[in-house]
Amino acid sequence: MIKKELHSLKWSTIYQVLTSAISYLTIIILARKYDPIYYGILIFGFNSLEFLKIISDPGITLYNISIFPHIKNRKEFISQVFYVRLILSIFTFIIFLLALFLYSTSFELKIVMLIFSFSIFPYVFDSRWIFQGSLKMNLSFFSRAIFRLLFFTLIVIAIRANAPYYYVPYLLFLASFLGYLSSFPLILRYYGNFTISFRPLTEVIAFLKNTIPIGMNQMLIASNGIIAIFFIGYLMRSSDVGQYGAAYKYSLLVSGILSIILNSLLPIISKNTFNENQFKKYSDFYLNILILSIFSVTIPIIIYTNIIYKLIYGNKYLASSSLAAILTFANLIMAYVHFIGYHLISRGKQSKYTRILFVEFILNLFFLTILLPGYGIYGAGISVFIASIVSLILAIYYYRRYIKPSLSNMLKPLLAVAFSFIITILIHYKFTGWSGLILSVILVIISNFFIIIYFRKRAKDEYQEK
């Protein structure tokens, strides 16, 4: 069993690294090609599409991963899921059309947003949950990998041909259509032929009642970046959206290792078949990777944001480099919040995790309305940072109350962050270029590695005393 899980983890990690790298590389190429005013329009379009995807998939994918191994009639279940997602996508698309009609903007921009929204329909047939649920990780991300590779290839060709920015949503639709449908031969091979047939409304509602609690967390996790871009797009210029979008994508690029680890472990953790000792091993592994990757790499990158930001985006986006550092630090904080959150879920306290994310959403929404008019895109960054700090305090409260962790588990990440900051700031005082960044990353990794070794030895000593 463990061998199969580790094999699945390997393929899941390979996919996450590959597709994340391709996705961020695509965004960087677009930013370097187009000025902030046009890049801002594209970011708003990508952002709108992500919002539509979340609404049309309220926790369905995550829910299906956890229950698919226990489904007896899998062919019937696959047909049901595709039907439910199709109905939700049509409903979401109609609501978006109405909002687009009422939104006061240029006709050209409305057309661009409309073409972006078409890509919600190919997403209906994203079948990764089918293979993830049965731990066939080498097959589960087949369609998404093809979609990302195809979109990247089309963007490179379009840029070489000097195509204007409004070609991008057309290319996105073509890539997503071909990519997501490419997995159907695999589905037919393993699960046989099926048809998407009409389902009673009561059956659809009953299915959604099971998925929406999970979907709430999914929506709230993605809400901060989405809501900020919507606010900026409504109140400010598209060039401001472009600057904020570049900073936001940079922060996600830096914290992308967290997403890779979390998404890779999720199908295994969600099976909920581990005893307490097995779960603790996976938890310790996750926290140690979190420390060695996120804390060890992110802190130096925050301090040295200027030189990295210029390398990635060029001079056009330097105005938002400090904003990128703020957003990256906020993501670092939320990394630990999500670590606590998955512990709460494992103890049947998912509602507490949802409460943390909801508080973060409300605070971000509140401070956006106050800070954005006076401080512009930096106000949006400060809003996200304040919300993440409060979320961390609430998460630690629940962590102490329901998980009752050892003092070692509480001190380990705190010391890792503190040492990472101290070492990096001292090096930055003397070396402000690439040599300083490389040196700080090496020293921070070494220091955090010894922190992990120390606390592991301490935990063994405590266990022997008991």
Judge whether 354 and 216 are in contact, CB under 8 Å.
yes
Q: For residue 165, give the nearest of 127, 115, 199, 205 by alpha carbon.
A: 115
**Cα gap 368→246, rounded to integer Å:** 18
pLDDT tens, 139-162?
Answer: 667 777 788 889 999 999 999 899
Confidence of residue 406 (pLDDT cuts 50, 70, 90): low
Burial (Cβ within 10 Å: 0-12, 13-18, ≥19) of residue 210? middle
Tokens of 227: 């809501």
Q: For residue 1, give the nearest of 340, 275, 364 by alpha carbon.
A: 275
Tokens of 292: 């060695």
More confident residue, 398 or 218: 398
**Cα gap 83→88, rounded to integer Å:** 9
Mean pLDDT of the chain: 78
Amino acid at 129: W
**Cα gap 263→92, rounded to integer Å:** 26
Q: Cβ contacts of residue 266 below 8 Å, gap of 6+?
A: 62, 65
pLDDT tens, 185-241?
Answer: 777 776 766 666 666 667 667 767 767 766 666 677 667 677 888 888 777 778 888
Residue 275, pLDDT > 60, answer no
The residue extents of the domains of the chain are 1-199, 213-466
Q: Cβ contacts of residue 121 below 8 Å, gap of 6+?
A: 89, 93
Residue 11, pLDDT > 60, answer no
With vertex at residue 42, the alpha carbon angle to CA 98 and CA 57, rounded to the nearest 5 degrees, is 55
Residue 274, pLDDT > 60, answer no
Judge whether 231 and 29 are in contact, CB under 8 Å.
no
**pTM (predicted TM-score):** 0.77
CA distances from 23 to 15, 18, 246, 362, 451 (A): 12, 9, 14, 29, 33
Pick the most confident of 254-258, 308-312, 412-416: 308-312
pLDDT tens, 451-460?
Answer: 777 777 766 6
